[in-house]
Amino acid sequence: MTSGMKNIVILISGAGSNMQAIAKAAEQERWAKTLSARIACVISNKPQAPGLAAARDLGIATQIVDHQQYASREHFDAALQLAIDACQPHLVVLAGFMRILTPGFVAHYEGRLVNIHPSLLPAFAGLNTYQRALDAGCKVAGATVHRVTADLDHGPIIAQAVVPVMPQDTARMLAARILVQEHLMYPKAVRALLSD
């Protein structure tokens, strides 16, 4: 491991488009030089997550910690923690990582663990955020980067991006509009956290 480097570990479960946005920013903005930071590893709990191949294509090391191979949430989190800690992380970035984390895991990474959630928290924690925003008649929606605490989707807010809700919106249309903003916001937020 390069000494003095701030290692970023990114956890994904799916497409990993936020991970790719962060990787692209790291490359284009030369984070290795400007921030002494690098993405050390991308870890997925899903062996088939398309984001894994995307990470490999970007030359980033990948690992799989398949939650289905573990008897309990505690066992899975312990294995995940081992895999993450092997990378000596300065920052652990949840990017579409669809697992509820145990309080012990969250405590272990206190101050180093961030998440992106596709709603304007504290509204619409949990799943189906787009449809819930539409059903409520929201005129704006968006995404939030926040510190992770044991309270699901309720940690201190780091950044938010707001988009308009259009009269004809479907959940899919709203999700796509929000995702564009996520890809701009998350790399910026990670960069700011690395500069602190």
Q: What amino acid positions are annotated as catalytic residues? A: 117
d(CA 91, CA 111): 8
If one asks whether residue 157 binds ligand GRF (CB under 6 A), the answer comes out as no
Interface residue with ligand GRF among 44, 76, 118, 142 (CB under 6 A) is 118
Q: How far is CA 74 from CA 78, 104, 152, in A?
A: 6, 9, 16
Closest contact distance (angstroms) between CB of 52 and ligand GRF is 11
Closest contact distance (angstroms) between CB of 27 and ligand GRF is 17
d(CA 89, CA 85): 6
SS3 state of residue 78: helix
**163 CB-near residues (< 8 Å, 6+ apart):** 140, 141, 142, 174, 177, 178, 181
Query: Which range in 7-15, 37-45, 100-108, 187-195 contacts ligand GRF by CB under 6 A?
Result: 7-15
Query: Which range in 8-16, 39-47, 134-142, 160-168 contacts ligand GRF by CB under 6 A?
Result: 8-16
Specify the residue, 57 or 85, whose C-beta has the smaller distance to ligand GRF. 57
Q: How is residue 112 written in tokens?
A: 């180093």
**# residues near ligand GRF by CB under 6 A:** 15
- Footprint on residues 54-93 left by ligand GRF (CB under 6 A): none
The alpha helices in 86-170, defined as continuous H runs, are 103-108, 129-135
* Residues 83, 10 contacting (CB under 8 angstroms): no
* Residues 7, 90 contacting (CB under 8 angstroms): yes
Give the amino acid at 64.
I
Interface residue with ligand GRF among 23, 92, 96, 148 (CB under 6 A) is 96
Q: How is residue 196 written in tokens?
A: 């602190």
Q: How is residue 132 written in tokens?
A: 């819930």
If one asks whether residue 153 binds ligand GRF (CB under 6 A), the answer comes out as no
Query: Which range in 10-18, 25-33, 74-82, 162-170 contacts ligand GRF by CB under 6 A?
Result: 10-18
Specify the residue, 67 or 78, whose C-beta has the smaller distance to ligand GRF. 67
Q: Which residues bind ligand GRF (CB under 6 A)?
A: 12, 14-18, 51, 95-96, 116-118, 143, 179, 182
